[in-house]
Amino acid sequence: MAQENQKCLKELESIHEELNRDGYVKMAEVLLRNGADPIIADADGCTPLHNLSKRFYYNDEDYGQLTEILLKVSREKGYQVDIQDKLGQTPLHLAVRNHMVDETEVLLRCGADPNLADKEGLTPLHIISKNFDMRFLPDNHFLLKKFFKINDEMQQTIQIDAQDNEGRTPLQWAVGDLNPDVVDVLLDRGANLSNFVFPHGKDFCKEYNIINHAHWNKLKPASGALTVVERLEKRGYDLVRSDVMTVIEFFAKYELFEQSSDLEKWLHDDEEFTFEAKKVMINLSLSLHDLIQLPPEKASKQLTYTDYLKFARSYDLWKLSKSYQEACSMNLCEKMSRGFFRRWALDSILELTRYQLPILCCEIVIQKLKNDDLCNLRDEGE
């Protein structure tokens, strides 16, 4: 009978959409009360609780209720909340990975260990911090705040600077995955910036495969990268040359800048684009058309990197005809990043000229170069 109940419980997991919430939860409870084992594992070491936590589901209140029942029966039978699968993942690891807010809360309030690491050394905090997923941004920091709030109420100390098997902290993951809001939350909660090492190479934007995204959407990672840098610097972190090179290489690799001045002229002169761009607002006082017309120096006085990131996340570029989306995105990337490239190009030019050229002359040279040209200075100077 118990085996039959176990089979029914497994089948019930797969037909959730066909049942109303109350019916689903009550039926599961009946099966569990009649012998279904709440922690029986499959070949991967996953229990029913693991499988519930794997499901991406925005309105996860019903899953949270079922989780409560599974945990209640498990505790009555003396089972642990933090059972791990073959990868060392607990249900809490999977719940935060899939952004299941209600289930995360239930697990934490039922005693799940927020500091337990999987076989890669990843704690739930690592996973939240590195979870760069287009479905979750910009709300990923909401889960992080909720995570800290619940643990505060449970008087559970979080190891905020825990290192994974490769020595990376949650803060390094958040920076590497271009999560500025998560960076702020971690720093507010005491993440150690004095020993922070900026992620380089493969660790910078590791989780975000930009190649699979349309060209018009390149504004999002470009603004994300510069916003992360800006947030770190505001907290007292001093960029070193290798950090700057990482950001520049990122822009160069994915061509996150405008390569032709003809493109900008086309946007300025095209009447249809002008008509469409005037209807897209960056903020209450600045339209997209206004921004396109502004030179980078003036644009930098009206908009921050965060403003560009908010606009990129809004998907307002979708309001433009497809033929304008890429050109507009590239123009905004160029305009937004101009100050960053100019700021660091001066050192490269001085090195190339062995400090023989006056700074004023260097600045005149920089003024005439586009961002991709400034990127090339990096190669010449190394």
Residue with tokens 């095209």: 270
pLDDT at 34: 64
pLDDT at 69: 72
Residue 7 binned pLDDT confidence (cut-offs 50, 70, 90): low
pLDDT at 58: 46
Over residues 23-36, the mean pLDDT reads 62
Give the Cα separation of 296 and 267 in Å (integer): 15
CA dihedral 150, 156, 158, 159 (to 10 degrees): -170
Give the Cα separation of 277 and 267 in Å (integer): 10
Does residue 17 surpass a pLDDT of 50? no
Does residue 190 surpass a pLDDT of 70? yes
Domain boundaries, the chain: 251-381
Residue 89 binned pLDDT confidence (cut-offs 50, 70, 90): very high
> How does DSSP classify residue 58?
S
Does residue 322 surpass a pLDDT of 80? yes
Question: Is the backbone peptide bond immediately before 138 cis, with ω within 30 degrees of 0?
Answer: yes
Mean pLDDT of the chain: 81
Does residue 112 surpass a pLDDT of 80? yes
Pair 152, 119: CB distance under 8 Å: no
Over residues 298-320, the mean pLDDT reads 91
Helices (H), 77-179: 91-97, 101-109, 124-130, 140-153, 170-176
**pLDDT tens-place string over residues 337-380:** 988 988 887 777 777 777 777 888 877 777 777 777 766 665 55
pLDDT at 24: 54
Is 356 in a helix, a strand, or coil?
coil
Residue 19 binned pLDDT confidence (cut-offs 50, 70, 90): very low
Does residue 106 surpass a pLDDT of 90? no
* Choice between 216 and 128, residue whose per-residue pLDDT is larger: 128
* Choice between 74 and 298, residue whose per-residue pLDDT is larger: 298
Over residues 55-83, the mean pLDDT reads 66
For residue 346, the one-letter residue type is L
* Choice between 200 and 122, residue whose per-residue pLDDT is larger: 122
Tell me the percentage of the chain whose pLDDT exceeds 70.
75
> How does DSSP classify residue 158?
-
Q: In whole angstroms, how far apart are CA 373 and each of 185, 341, 347?
A: 36, 10, 15
Does residue 321 surpass a pLDDT of 50? yes
